[in-house]
Structure 1
Amino acid sequence: MTYPGGVAALRGVDLTVARGDLLAVVGPSGSGKSTMLHLLGTLDRPTTGTVRVAGHDVAALSDRELSALRARHLGFVFQQFHLAPAASALDNVADGLLYTGTGRRARRERAAAALERVGLGHRLRHRPPELSGGEQQRVALARAVAGDPELLLADEPTGNLDSASGAGVLAVLADLHAAGTTIVLITHDAGIAGWCPRRVRLRDGLVVDGHDHDDLGPVALLKGAGR
């Protein structure tokens, strides 16, 4: 995406997301953080360079193949919870598995296990209006990890929460990471970025700070990527 005036959201970014990373992408508004998440999540295709996710060149895949890649390898958590208000927590999570080809019974079993994993095993039947903001975000986290993705992408996951609820969500992310989930967390909050063991700073569409590595093998790779 190039904005009016010829300003590119990302300009030739190189980044390796290694297996087992807990990586914060930090920077002010307009720095390119959300565009980077969209590229890593295959929601956008690069106009320059290469994006590889789970070994696949994103530019070489059809829309249907990209949808399958997202369903099998990626999980998403956003600042807005995007939950169906009339559906239970269990159904909100189970419905996130519809595109994985999993049967209804197995979807509900995996959804219940994911909700237990984020500390909501006692809230399976509650609908979003009956849950606190922090609990709703944990439902969103459960939905994101129910399919056991290789890479979890979280865009300002504590942005709509008070400090106590935000700390609870970060604790869940820490547990998921300890269990082996690779996580990229987009944030403008320096405190949250400092909580992550690896940080990359963006400014004006460029990486201005942050080391790169692939010692455990890449889950995702941006090479000269731009939008």
Structure 2
Amino acid sequence: MTPVIELRDASKAYPGGVHALRGVNLTVDAGELLAVVGPSGSGKSTLLHVIGTLDRPTSGTVRVAGYDVATLSDSRLAALRARYIGFVFQHFHLSAGRDAVANVADGLLYAGVPLRERRARAREALARVRLDHRFEHRPHELSGGEKQRVAIARALVGEPRLVLADEPTGALDTASGEVVMEVLRELNAAGTTICVITHDNEIAHALPRRVRCRDGEIVADSRTPAEGAARP
């Protein structure tokens, strides 16, 4: 099966000699749940932008769902993102005057889906993140954890193969953060590949795979043994 993410010697440099990524090699298969963890300045945010095709590498190869991003025009990259990738950000980015269904339906705005179907799929996505009782609530009527779950539903409404969650618990209290992570685990168990970018080692250690970044490089890539696996 084609990996969802495949980076080979991927580097990203900026003017002034800043090397945000240095020869990164990373493969993520369908159905994985992993954390990309590291402190500020470690390169994890740049890695997210490169994986999410929001930025192109300076050198090396990046493939998403089998597509080499270097060969795609900007319009085809946008289409790849719309079809295969869902994004969840720390600060929600919800429209203040629109209810939860409308905010989630906006995730299909550029996919050519009719309004009635957009809203029906938005309700289904909200139900998946346990918010079927909040369809008509606007952001100011929701808790921080509920806002983040609306953002997750918006990322899921297009049924992407991959969800990139950038510090999804960073703006939440501990209890709300735990609910958000539980929802992400449930979505992964249903088949969605999920990559969580975080500086929180506790969150990272709770996930089955941890990719640790430092100074633009991957310095560790570890997995928790599956239950029942043989141990030395």
TM-score using structure 1 length: 0.91
1:150 is aligned to 2:156: no
For residue 97 of structure 1, what is the aligned residue in structure 2?
108
Asked if the contact 2:212/2:220 (under 8 Å) is kept, the reply is yes
Asked if the contact 1:77/1:144 (under 8 Å) is kept, the reply is yes
- Aligned CA-pair RMSD: 1.2
Unmatched tracts of structure 2, length 5 or more: 1-11, 224-232
1:1-227 equivalences under 5 Å are: 1-3=12-14, 5-211=16-222
Q: Give per-residue Cα distances to partners, 1:139-189, cap 9 Å, x unaligned.
A: 000000111100000000000000000001001001100100000100110
Q: Secondary structure at the match of 1:99?
A: coil
Tell me by how many angstroms 1:136 deviates. 0.2
Asked if the contact 2:13/2:58 (under 8 Å) is kept, the reply is no
How many residues end up aligned between the 2 structures? 212
| Alpha-carbon separation, structure 2, partners of 1:188 and 1:154 | 12
Asked if the contact 1:153/1:183 (under 8 Å) is kept, the reply is yes
Kindly report structure 1 stretches of 4+ aligned residues shifted beyond 2 Å.
1-5
Larger mean Cα displacement after TM superposition, 95-104 or 197-206 = 95-104
Pick 1 or 2: higher relative contact order, CA cutoff 8 A, min separation 6. 1
Q: Which residue identity lines up with residue 205 of structure 1 in the other structure?
A: G
Q: Which residue identity lines up with residue 181 of structure 1 in the other structure?
A: T
Unmatched tracts of structure 1, length 5 or more: 213-227
Q: Give per-residue Cα distances to partners, 1:39-95, cap 9 Å, x unaligned.
A: 110000111001101111111111111111111100000111000000000000001
Q: Percent identity between the aligned chains?
A: 67
For residue 216 of structure 1, what is the aligned residue in structure 2?
none
Asked if the contact 1:20/1:182 (under 8 Å) is kept, the reply is yes
| Alpha-carbon separation, structure 2, partners of 1:180 and 1:200 | 20
Q: Secondary structure at the match of 2:35?
A: strand
Q: Secondary structure at the match of 2:22?
A: coil
Asked if the contact 1:68/1:99 (under 8 Å) is kept, the reply is no
